[in-house]
Amino acid sequence: MTSRSGTVAEPVEASEPGAHGYRRPLTRADHVAMPNAQVMTYRQALNDTLRQEMIRDDKVFLIGEEIGVFEGSYKITAGLLAEFGPERVRDTPIAEEGFTGAAIGAAMLGYRPVVEIMTINFTLKAIDQIVNHAAKIHSMFGGQSSVPLVLRTPGGGGQQLAATHSQNLEVWYAHIPGLKVVAPSSPADAKALLLAAIRDNDPVIFLENLALYNTKGPVPDGDEAAEIGRAAVVRAGTDVTIVSYSRGVLTALEVAERFEAEGVSIEVVDLRSLRPLDRRSICASVMRTGRAVVFEDDWLTYGIGAELSATIAEGAFDYLDAPVRRVAAAEVPLPYAKPLELAAMPDADDLARAVRELLQDTRFRK
Amino acid sequence: MPSSAPVTSAEVNQVAGHRHEESAETLIGFYREMALIRAFELRASEMYARARIGGYCHLNLGEEATVVGLMDALQPSDYLFTTYRDHGYALARGMEPGKVMAELFGKTTGVSRGRGGSMHMFDAERRMLGGYGIVGGQIPPAVGAALAISMDGPAGAETEAVMCLMGDGTTNIGSFHESLNLAGVWNLPIVFVIINNRLGMGTPVEAASAEPELYKRGSAYRIPGVRVDGNDVIEVRDAALAALEQARIERRPALIEAMSYRLRGHSVVDPARYRSVDDTAEAKAQDPVPAFRERLIEAGHLDAQAATAIDQEVDLVVDDAVKFAEDSPDPSPDELFDNAYATDVANAPRSLPGERLVVS
């Protein structure tokens, strides 16, 4: 695929393989070529998909704090209690360990619970059930049982919620064999990956992001699920690869657009799946561009970007013109005050600066 | 029944109408099971000392009457979640002794295919949904199994129920309280059983629990509790039957505390030096296996010769179990990634330590 103007890769049909033999997430430009898509928010895509799956399979039920009467802290489950009743949209006490574990037990008996934990920060209350139980039961009991459970939870800072409510802890789960971890960046992927997660027989951590809920994009009708474990090139380019996921993909696309005007062609790889990690796609992109920047909302040390950098070093070292650059959050508990919060969180300017330095370091010329 | 007042199992049994006259055959069957668990655990200890068994290994020695009483009360359709001290429960739930021993030996023929070991016995067919190594880890999933049953259909005498076992130390952990609360507010068909062996590893119950009468700990959740003599197989069984009936018919959780002293250390390697001579003597004096044997002989159900025949028979069963385990194949490293996931997934990691990552 060659570098081209605009913000997106060449439009392709949703069912057709993308540049690397699998489907990439849809972007706004795809809508033109897709009469069977509607533009909607990420939030609406999640809500519609939950409804669709609950209609399709009566073993699917929702469980979490304030998801029914209150309709969800972020209104992802709005209207579902009225439609499906309190058994299938089950409000819980404030007891993350208890209800996450209860979802595991129900999953062992054949149900397909979709757990909502209000933010990823509160998943720490349930981490024993997630890591020591959901992730282990299938393997440790010799394949006799499985845990078809989805745990939806938003991460992300930037809302002045201070240190305990602004974290990006996905790497904790992405580290754990037995879990699958997905992180959609677009409304279309929110749908396609949620369909995949609900239909999967393993526990899937489904990472959302507070800053994405109101973003809009085309979402195809129908019920085609994404394939977990596959990254996608969401913007083709020839000069620099930016690898990111979730909210970071939008920032990467914005930065790519800035550089387009200068004649620098940036390729953006959206991980979509943090575990399994699609190392091949990451390295294939870097082999094409020779330059790599990884962009993550979490902290630098031991973060997602550390694994990406190591992957590129192992898989595409000979193609690199310079060391991989990492752009991540400053390593402090995120402060409340806006100027400090902004300083700590990685943004488009930080990413653009790293890209520019990388271009300079490698004596890039148009 | 008031949930916070001490209630004896006899009272419960009167209320629920369970006071069975046991046939000699049933009682002898109980003895046989208790004797099998005793023989199996003594052999497991020996095999551990011979390094045939690895890891942690917690034995049910002294707990046999509780094990057999609880398991006899369950229907085959009921679900069981246990602690890591689970060999006896696996046997009494009907798992083949050879496959339980093979699990301890880490063989492919083990009940969890050698993936779990001592603490993680599992048998989907017999609805033994796992021994759990993390203290308190089993309670939320057990509640979830009961939630699934309640979503499957209405209450009734023929419906399924869940039994969830735990030790005395577990009643201090958060998941215990969260889970009892959920079972209470959602009216779930689950029986929580606390096996109170008076020591959490080396810590006495009184030093660990502000309410050491553990059957009372359900009262905060309006879950009625009873304390039973864990050395009395019939008393345990009757309390469990009553609690299970309440769970099935009323969809109300119940709590049983079975007092059952450990005969040995916390695990095979624990010499239990923290126990006094008197304490150890008392545990030995209360040993349920010889006591039940004597009881059956005194009642005329067994003579000494018949009892000895049972003891010898179970020894042979254990001999065969060891032989089966020893003769079973070790898993091959080629199987390392089997069952990594229930649904195959693209790019699942399959590299061994030190192998070059294949990325192109």
d(C-alpha B139, C-alpha B141), whole Å = 6
What is the pLDDT, as a whole number, of residue B95? 98
The nearest CA of chain B is from the CA of A258 a distance in Å of 30
What is the pLDDT, as a whole number, of residue B16? 46
Burial (0-12, 13-18, 19+ Cβ within 10 Å), A167 = buried
Residue A214's contacts (CB-CB under 8 Å, 6 or more residues apart) are: A41, A42, A43
Q: What is the DSSP secondary-structure string of A253-317?
A: HHHHHHHHTTT--EEEEE--EEES--HHHHHHHHHHHS-EEEEEEEESTTSHHHHHHHHHHHHHG
Among the partner residues B124, B147, B182, nearest to A95 by beta-carbon distance: B182
Q: Which residue matches tokens 């997934």?
A: B345
Chain A contact set for B347 (CB, 8 A): 229-230, 273, 276-280
Token digits of residue B336: 């390392």
Domain limits, CATH 3.40.50.970, in chain A: 31-220
3-state secondary structure of A169: coil
Looking at the predicted structure, is the pLDDT value of residue B310 above 50?
yes
Please, what CATH class does the domain formed by A229-361 belong to?
A: alpha beta
Closest B-chain CA to A198: B343
What is the pLDDT, as a whole number, of residue B3? 39
Task: Yes or no: say if A195 and A226 are a contact pair by the CB < 8 Å rule.
Answer: yes
Residue B53's contacts (CB-CB under 8 Å, 6 or more residues apart) are: B44, B47, B104, B105, B118
Architecture per CATH, domain A31-220, reads as 3-Layer(aba) Sandwich (3.40)
- 8-state DSSP, B123: B
Looking at the predicted structure, is the pLDDT value of residue B37 above 80?
yes
What is the pLDDT, as a whole number, of residue B345? 97
Domain limits, CATH 3.40.50.920, in chain A: 229-361
Chain A contact set for B80 (CB, 8 A): none
Sign of the torsion angle spanned by Cα atoms A180, A181, A185, A191: positive
CB atoms B185 and A93 under 8 Å: yes
Residue A222's contacts (CB-CB under 8 Å, 6 or more residues apart) are: A36
CB atoms A138 and B339 under 8 Å: yes
Among the partner residues B120, B139, B142, nearest to A141 by beta-carbon distance: B120
What is the pLDDT, as a whole number, of residue A366? 78
Strand partners for B227:
B8, B257
CB atoms A279 and B347 under 8 Å: yes
d(C-alpha A182, C-alpha A344), whole Å = 25
d(C-alpha A307, C-alpha A272), whole Å = 15
Mean pLDDT of B102-109: 98
Distances (CA, A) of B162 to A291, B149, B353: 57, 9, 41
- 8-state DSSP, A68: S
* A–B interface: beta-carbon pairs under 8 A: 186
Token digits of residue B170: 């577990």
ipTM over 0.90: yes
Give, for all 366 residues of chain A, the pLDDT tens digit.
333 333 333 333 333 333 333 345 666 566 566 668 899 999 999 999 999 999 999 999 999 999 999 999 999 999 999 999 999 999 999 999 999 999 999 999 999 999 999 999 999 999 999 999 999 999 999 999 999 999 999 999 999 999 999 999 999 999 999 999 999 999 999 999 999 999 999 999 999 999 999 999 999 999 999 999 999 999 999 999 999 999 999 999 999 999 999 999 999 999 999 999 999 999 999 999 999 999 999 999 999 999 999 999 999 999 999 999 999 999 999 999 999 999 999 999 999 999 999 999 999 987
Distance of CA B249 to the CA centre of its chain: 24
d(C-alpha B245, C-alpha A118), whole Å = 37
Among the partner residues A103, A145, A227, nearest to B144 by beta-carbon distance: A103
> What one-letter code names the amino acid at A156?
G
What is the pLDDT, as a whole number, of residue B21? 72
d(C-alpha A125, C-alpha A122), whole Å = 6
d(C-alpha A278, C-alpha A288), whole Å = 16
What is the pLDDT, as a whole number, of residue B357? 82
Q: What is the DSSP secondary-structure string of B166-205?
A: EEGGGGGSHHHHHHHHHHHHTT--EEEEEEE-SEETTEEH
CB atoms B343 and A201 under 8 Å: yes
Distances (CA, A) of A43 to A39, A72, A213: 12, 11, 5
Token digits of residue B346: 């693209």
Sign of the torsion angle spanned by Cα atoms A156, A162, A163, A165: negative
The nearest CA of chain B is from the CA of A343 a distance in Å of 36
Among the partner residues A101, A229, A280, nearest to B175 by beta-carbon distance: A101
What is the pLDDT, as a whole number, of residue A17? 35
For residue B68, which of B109, B27, B112, B17 has the smallest C-alpha distance?
B27
Burial (0-12, 13-18, 19+ Cβ within 10 Å), B273 = exposed
What is the pLDDT, as a whole number, of residue B13? 44
Residue B15's contacts (CB-CB under 8 Å, 6 or more residues apart) are: B1, B242
Task: Yes or no: say if B230 and B236 are a contact pair by the CB < 8 Å rule.
Answer: yes
Distance of CA A319 to the CA centre of its chain: 27
d(C-alpha B147, C-alpha B154), whole Å = 12
Share of chain B above pLDDT 70, in %: 94
Closest A-chain CA to B144: A102
The nearest CA of chain A is from the CA of B11 a distance in Å of 32
| Least confident residue range of A270-284, B142-156, B345-359 | B345-359
Q: Which residue matches tokens 């992300």?
A: A156
- Catalytic residue annotation of A: 96, 165
Chain B contact set for A287 (CB, 8 A): 360
Token digits of residue B230: 């864990």
d(C-alpha B105, C-alpha B54), whole Å = 8
3-state secondary structure of A183: coil
Residue A105's contacts (CB-CB under 8 Å, 6 or more residues apart) are: B81, B129, B140, B141, B142, B143, B144, B145, B146, B147, B148
The nearest CA of chain A is from the CA of B4 a distance in Å of 23
Chain-wide mean pLDDT for chain B?
Answer: 93
**Does the bond joining B349 to the residue before it have cis omega, within 30 degrees of 0?**
no
**Domains in chain B, start-ordered, CATH in brackets?**
9-327 (3.40.50.970)
What is the pLDDT, as a whole number, of residue A31? 57
Chain A contact set for B142 (CB, 8 A): 105
What is the pLDDT, as a whole number, of residue A153? 98
Among the partner residues A103, A139, A279, nearest to B340 by beta-carbon distance: A139
pTM of the shown model: 0.93
Pick the residue with more confidence: B281 or B359? B281
Digit-coded pLDDT (tens) for B174-226: 999 999 999 999 999 999 999 999 999 999 999 999 999 999 999 999 999 99
Name the strand (E) or helix (H) holding A206.
strand A204-209
> What one-letter code names the amino acid at B217?
R
Name the strand (E) or helix (H) holding A342.
helix A338-344
Confidence of residue B140 (pLDDT cuts 50, 70, 90): very high
What is the pLDDT, as a whole number, of residue B209? 96
